Amino acid sequence: MAFAPGKVILFGEHAVVYGRPAIAVPVTQVGARVTVERGVGGILVQAKDLGLSHTMGELPVDEALEPVVSLVESALEYLGVRLPPPLVITITSTIAMARGLGSGAAVSTALVRGLGEHFGRELSPEEVSALVYEAEKFHHGTPSGIDNTVISYGHPIYFVRGEPPQTFKVGKPFLLAIGDSGVKSPTKVVVEEVRRRWEKEPSRYEPLFDQIGQVVERAKEEMEGGNLEGLGSLMDENQALLRDLGVSSPQLDDLVKVAREAGALGAKLSGAGRGGSVIALIEERTREAVTTALERGGVQGVITTEVSS
C-alpha cells in the first residue's frame, strides 16, 4: 500500500510552463492511496471513487483510466517485470478532481510507489517523478512537471522546468486555508488557452511571466526568512498578475477579497485558474474567521494545512 499527498502551487503557476520559477508545497490532509495485491487472471485496475474497473489487455479502455493503465505498463517495464503475475490494483483518493490540488499526479505517484513496493523496489523521488511526469501528459498536455515533483518529494519545492528541483527550508511554519470554489477547472484546457494567447501576443505575455518569476524569487526569500507579512503581500501581487493573464474569474476574485477582508495576510488562486481552489495565508488567530468567511462566500469546503520544512 502506498500514499501520496495533494499539493498547491503557492507562486508561479502558468509562468512556470515558460521557464520561470514556481514554488509548490504538499498538502497532506488529502491524498491518494493505492493497494497492489495478488489477483486471479490478469491485472485488474479499479478506481473505487469513480466506480470504474478495467482488466488490462481488454478494449476499450475508459478515458478516465487510460492514463492509469498506461502508467501501470510503463512502471512494470521500468521495474523489469516482463511477465507480471495477476494483480488487483485498487485506487482511492480524497482529492477533489480539477481543483488545482494535484489529484492526477497524486494517484500516479501512489500507483508507482505501490507497484515498486509490491515488487521489492524502493524507488527514489527522482525515479517516481520521472515516471509520473509521463502520465501527467494525459492530464495536462504540456505539463511543467511541478505537480509530479512536489508530490514525489513531499517537501516545499522551488522548481524551474528542465532544471533539478530544489527543496528548501521554511524559516517559520505557516498556515494555509485552501478553499474549493466548486468549479472544475481542467488544467489542460486553461494551459492551452494561455499558450494560444501567448503565441498570438508574446510581447504582452512575456513581461507578465517575467514579473511572476520575480515574485517567486522574492517569495522564496520571504519563506526562508519567515517573513509572513511579506509573503502575504507577494500572494496578492501574484494574484493581480494572474488576473492580468486572464486566468482568474469574478468568483475567484471575490473569494480572494473575502479572505483578505476576514484577516488573511494574502490570498490568490492556486493552479490553472478559472475555477479550482483559492489559498489564503492565515494565522492561528484568524483561522476561524477566514474559514467562516470563505464558507459564507460559497466555497464547497476549506482545508487548513501547515507548511513547514
Reported CATH class of domain 169-307: alpha beta
Asked if 122 and 69 touch (Cβ cutoff 8 Å), the reply is no
Answer whether residue 139 shows pLDDT above 80: no
Per-residue pLDDT tens for 278-287?
Answer: 999 999 999 9
Per-residue pLDDT tens for 116-127?
Answer: 999 999 999 999
pLDDT of residue 143: 76
pLDDT of residue 293: 98
Asked whether the domain spanning 169-307 has the same topology as the one spanning 2-166, the reply is no
Answer whether residue 155 shows pLDDT above 90: yes
Query: Residues 147, 210, 236, 253: which is the catalytic one?
Result: 147
User: Domain map of the chain by residue range?
Assistant: 2-166, 169-307
Distances (CA, A) of 38 to 4, 48, 85, 86, 181: 22, 18, 7, 6, 40
Query: Within 13 A of 9's CA, how many CA atoms are on the CB side?
Result: 31
Tell me the mean pLDDT in the region 155-181.
94
pLDDT of residue 203: 98
pLDDT of residue 97: 85
pLDDT of residue 163: 92
In this prediction, what percent of the chain has a pLDDT beyond 70? 99
Answer whether residue 68 shows pLDDT above 80: yes
For residue 48, give the C-alpha cell.
473505487
Average pLDDT taken over every residue of the chain: 94
The CATH number assigned to the domain with range 2-166 reads 3.30.230.10
Beta strands in the chain (DSSP E): 2-11, 22-38, 43-47, 52-55, 87-93, 157-159, 166-167, 174-180, 266-270, 277-282, 301-307
pLDDT of residue 111: 97
Phi/psi at 127 (5° precision) = -65, -45
Per-residue pLDDT tens for 209-228?
Answer: 999 999 999 999 999 999 99
Asked if 171 and 226 touch (Cβ cutoff 8 Å), the reply is yes
62 belongs to the catalytic site: no
